[in-house]
Amino acid sequence: MAGRAVEIECDRIGQVEEACRAGASSVLLDNMSIEEVSACVELVGGLRPDGSTLIEVSGGSPRRALPNTRRPMFDLISVGALTTAPVLDIGLDL
Q: What is the pLDDT along the chain (94 residues), one digit of tens a residue?
A: 457 899 999 999 999 999 999 999 999 998 888 889 889 999 999 999 888 899 998 876 555 555 555 555 788 888 766 666 666 666 666 5
* Per-residue model confidence (pLDDT) at position 19: 95
* Per-residue model confidence (pLDDT) at position 68: 58
* Per-residue model confidence (pLDDT) at position 61: 56
User: How many Å apart are CA 77 and CA 53, to the nearest integer?
Assistant: 15
Amino acid at 16: V
Torsion-angle region of residue 3: left (phi > 0), alpha (psi -120 to 50) or beta?
left
* Per-residue model confidence (pLDDT) at position 1: 47
Distances (CA, A) of 89 to 82, 86, 92: 20, 10, 10
